[in-house]
Amino acid sequence: MSKPTVLILCTGNSCRSQMAEGILRAAAGDLVEVVSAGAKPTGRINARAIQVMREIGIDISGHRSKHMSEFFERPIHTVITVCGHADQACPVFPGQARRHHWGFDDPAHTQGEDEVVMADFRRVRDQMRLVFGAYAAGLRHGEQMPAR
């Protein structure tokens, strides 16, 4: 029996959705398959996202930036958008039972000294840890997943 798939979407699939994928996979990867994609993928993973995730013991350096169309033929149980553009561009996926929008600031657009930019990456990462950690806790208590 396969695990239900959770697809996390943002625009570029280089930063926010990649961090969220890593966080949710670490918190609930035994319960759900976690993947991410973008409406307009950049084709790369943001180096600062990799760095701040490594700081909390999660390695996303092997992730790949991909287009959401890679998942059109796959049954997706839950779609979570993490930016407004992806929320508006999000199609309905086969088997999709739930959809959530939890918007986060894009730290890749933060300007200033490296210290300021990294602080913003950490802030967004930590917000995601709270939100996706709570979601994972709900999954562990049997909420939002189909009986299988």
- What pLDDT score was predicted for residue 146? 46
- Mark whether 10 is an active-site residue: yes
15 catalytically annotated: no
Burial of 145 (0-12, 13-18, 19+ CB in 10 A): buried
- Residue of 6, 10, 15, 80 marked catalytic: 10
For residue 60, CA distances in Å to 14, 49, 67 come to: 10, 8, 17
Six-digit token pair at 53?
């995730």
Catalytic residue among 24, 90, 128, 131: 90
For tokens 């790369």, name the residue.
44
Spot the catalytic one: 83, 124, 139, 145: 83
Rounded to whole angstroms, the Cα distance separating 86 from 113 reads: 28
Confidence at residue 92, expressed as pLDDT on a 0 to 100 scale: 66
Is 90 designated active site?
yes
Domains of the chain with CATH codes: 5-140 (3.40.50.2300)
Per-residue confidence in pLDDT tens, the chain, 148 aa: 689 999 999 999 999 999 999 999 999 999 999 999 998 999 999 999 999 999 999 999 999 999 999 998 889 999 999 987 655 666 666 666 788 989 999 999 999 999 999 999 999 999 999 999 999 999 988 855 544 3
